[in-house]
Chain A
Amino acid sequence: MSNQQPKKLRTDLNPSRLLTFKINDQDVSAREDESILAIARQNDITIPTLCHLDGLSERGACRICIVEIKGSVKLLPACVTLPRQDMEVITHSERVICYRKKILELIFTERNHVCSVCVSNGHCELQNLAVELGVSHVRYNYLYPRHGVDASHSRFSVDHNRCVLCLRCVRVCDEIEGAHTWDLMGRGITSRVITDLNQPWGTSETCTGCGKCVQVCPTGALSEKGKSVAEMIKRRQFLPYLQMMRGRHEEPWQK
């Protein structure tokens, strides 16, 4: 026991190595700490995502980015799965596409997504995913839950009916702004994002009013006040920039 040196696990025990594997029969190379999603994007292979956002920590929660890996029965999320040497990844098999569609449909049933009256109509990642994946109607029953709108903040509002629980707001507030105003309460289908201790956003003492949460929100759940239908265009350019300046990502080519 005593002769062991303190070591940092990932770097010393498994020194970073390069490896090659296949995505859709295309040979690609990767550093072993890069996700399959990152490698796919470097090689112009599109894998749809929802909870993932460049510059934020990964959650692997929305399951939209699932891919098939030869030899593995389960489908794995590309955003949190690391490649292995000679792995064969398939990003667009019929099976994968079918599951992605179903997952997206489940998201649509969960809350009340009414595109036609939404501030983000036309600029919404959820809507875009429906187009991309060819979801033209939802086969599951809509749940029509009763959720509220919190417009107590002077500049922003949150409409829980449009929230997909990707927790980008929670992550950007905690990881980038450092305020940790947003968090999650409840569990399962009753989960909900909250500000501070589940109090109106306008009364939050930790919120700096920076608006990063609004900009990273994929749907119209978080929006700027004064925007009407289809007027809310999110600006996310700040995020990779901030990340790069803070040196969180060691290398620029990781973007």
Chain B
Amino acid sequence: MTLNIEDLHQIANIEKDRIEGFQHRINVCVAAGCLSCGSNILKESLEKEVSRRGIDNWCKVRGVGCLGLCKAGPLIAMETSGTYYQGVTVADVTDILDSLGGSPVSRLVCPSDAPFFRRQSRLVSENCGRIDPERIEEYIAEGGYEGLYLALTEMTRQEVIEQVTTSGLRGRGGAGFPTGLKWRTVSKTTDVVKFVICNADEGDPGAFMDRSVLESDPHRVIEGMAVAGYATGASQGFIYVRAEYPLAVKRLRLALSQAERLGLLGNNIFNTTFSFNVKVRLGAGAFVCGEETALIASIEGRMGRPRPKPPFPAEYGLWEHPTLINNVETFATIPLIIRKGGAWLAGIGTEKSKGTKVFALAGRIVNTGLIEIPMGTSLRDIVFDIGGGIPDGKRFKAVQTGGPSGGCIPEQFLDMPVDYESLVQVGSIMGSGGMIVMDESSCMVDVARFFMEFCMSESCGKCVPCRVGTRQIHDLLCKITANQATPADLAMLEDLCDLMKNTSLCGLGQSAPNPVLTTLNYFRDEYLSHIHDKCCLAGACKPLKEVP
């Protein structure tokens, strides 16, 4: 079956009519965060109660993707009135249904005009919390797959790439490589077989942006991949998603079969010569498989270990063919660029970092959850305005960005705009978008130790500096937090960090010292106090651990 634009519009209209036929629509968040606090049970009992009351012809209970404020889950949104309810339990079902058409249940109301919601600009996550991720029709009703249609029928491959280049979009996986340039490179290779890979091996501790996008709006990623396939000349795509995201995998597979059923994937999409298929590949829980060459090895069925670059995957990738690898969020931005034009996205953000970025707020912050903000928003706005500040009246100490490859940014840089360059300047990186906030009760040496422990257990073991270096650094950090270290140990710590940074094979090893280096830079007094005064300034480390 092949669709044309009329079919697409018809699907959209039918779906819109269907949805709008319901006077009241109750959107229950069924993304991982809310699910874990029982939103599926809540949804069931809402549905039961609705049908028991016999109001199911004008009231619809829908499962939708992430509403963002994960800490207040389970969240539900009353679409007609625009009211958000937080921390809803099964016991609240009657009250909520009683209030339909009347005034909202005040004890549950989550102020939706709070900065958390007001300050965001949701582009990539525009459909999150608004559509049922398990129904392709709802995605189409929101303009989904129109971008793919436009690209295939009205644009040449070059024009698509030009739009992406104009948009200034940079890789959302962390390094910030210009997406247009990458696409152009792959499109220039002459091999007839090329691949598109979506990197959904999100592994940073505290990061769940990709997970949320995949769980809330999987079709957006698939559409982005198909556009990329068209632009680069690839006809096969792979989504490499970690097996720890079973819900994302389930929804992706469902989305793929729906898209195939409608002919949005497969042969001769929209009656053009373009054919594109997507397969899901599961990662078995190795952080290093987020590194592109290790990821490729894993898809090929080999051990997930990086190889030296060059040659880069764009030239020599999956099964030795040119391969485009982008992150989930990058692909999810593509449909918008095609629909609204590259210049539109370029109008958002800062000079060198365009568009918006999704961040996962975690740690000691009031509003734990998912946010999407324009590039260039200051850290202070993110932490104190959108994030609601630090709970329990504690003092802000640092924010960790970029996961184990990133760094800890102290208070003095709070007014810094969040973009790729600024973050690098202070020793951190944008990373995939995890933000872990720490207050005065966190010991920064212990934070560094935590990240180094992570890198140590996730190091693939191929190159010596990373394999042995992570272990040596971890041992030293343990020694410091246990108040057993000497000034010579501190010198050795810095020496090892420098060694790893300069001689490791892949990005994991080269950036693994970043949390240590930034904390050494900004919180050296905490290291010194552990070493000289044998005490933890934050009062977090208890010197009980025996050091080997």
**Interface segment, one of B147-155, B466-474, B525-533:** B466-474
Q: List which A1-46 residues lie within 8 A (CB) of chain B.
A: 1-2, 4-7, 9-10, 12-13
Q: Is the interface of A mostly helix, strand, loop or mixed?
A: loop
Measured CB to CB, the nearest residue on chain A to B462 is A61
Check B502 against A99 for contact (C-beta < 8 Å). Answer: yes
Measured CB to CB, the nearest residue on chain A to B468 is A106
Shortest Cβ distance from A181 into chain B, in angstroms? 16
Known: A9-B315, A75-B503. A143 touches B471 (CB 8 A): yes
Check B499 against A99 for contact (C-beta < 8 Å). Answer: yes
| A59 interfacial contact with B, CB 8 Å | yes
Check B308 against A77 for contact (C-beta < 8 Å). Answer: yes
Check A188 against B470 for contact (C-beta < 8 Å). Answer: yes
Q: Determine the interface band of chain B, counting residues with CB < 8 A from chain A.
A: 35 or more
Chain A residues near B462 (CB, 8 Å)?
Answer: 59, 61
| A137 interfacial contact with B, CB 8 Å | no
Shortest Cβ distance from B289 into chain A, in angstroms? 11
Known: A7-B190, A13-B189. A188 touches B458 (CB 8 A): yes
Check B308 against A102 for contact (C-beta < 8 Å). Answer: no
| B513 interfacial contact with A, CB 8 Å | no
Check B190 against A63 for contact (C-beta < 8 Å). Answer: no
| A177 interfacial contact with B, CB 8 Å | no
Measured in the bound complex, the distance between the Cα atoms of B468 and A9 in whole Å is 36
| B496 interfacial contact with A, CB 8 Å | yes
Check A63 against B463 for contact (C-beta < 8 Å). Answer: yes
How would residues 468 to 510 of chain B score, 1 for a CB under 8 Å from any chain A CB and 0 otherwise? Answer: 1111100100000000000000001001100100111100001
Among B233, B467, B469, B475, contact of A191 (Cβ-Cβ < 8 Å): B467
Check B233 against A165 for contact (C-beta < 8 Å). Answer: no
A contact residues, total (Cβ < 8 Å): 43
Measured in the bound complex, the distance between the Cα atoms of B460 and A188 in whole Å is 5
Check B190 against A189 for contact (C-beta < 8 Å). Answer: no
Check B307 against A13 for contact (C-beta < 8 Å). Answer: no
Check A189 against B464 for contact (C-beta < 8 Å). Answer: no
Check A106 against B465 for contact (C-beta < 8 Å). Answer: yes
Among A12, A62, A80, contact of B190 (Cβ-Cβ < 8 Å): A12
Check B464 against A63 for contact (C-beta < 8 Å). Answer: yes
Chain A contacts to B: CB under 8 angstroms: 1-2, 4-7, 9-10, 12-13, 59-64, 66, 73-75, 77, 80-82, 99, 102-103, 106-107, 109-110, 139-141, 143, 165, 184, 186-191
Question: What are the nearest 6 A-B pairs in CB distance?
Answer: A191-B461, A188-B459, A106-B468, A60-B308, A189-B471, A80-B308
Pull 30 A–B residue pairs with CB atoms less than 8 Å apart, ordered by A: A1-B192, A1-B233, A2-B273, A4-B192, A5-B192, A6-B191, A7-B190, A9-B190, A9-B191, A13-B189, A13-B190, A59-B462, A61-B462, A63-B464, A63-B503, A63-B505, A75-B502, A75-B503, A99-B502, A106-B472, A109-B468, A109-B472, A139-B492, A140-B472, A141-B472, A143-B468, A165-B461, A187-B286, A187-B460, A188-B458
Please give 14 more A-B residue pairs, beta carbons under 8 A apart, in addition to A62-B463, A63-B463, A188-B458: A1-B233, A4-B192, A5-B192, A7-B191, A9-B190, A12-B190, A60-B307, A61-B462, A81-B308, A106-B468, A110-B464, A110-B467, A143-B472, A188-B466
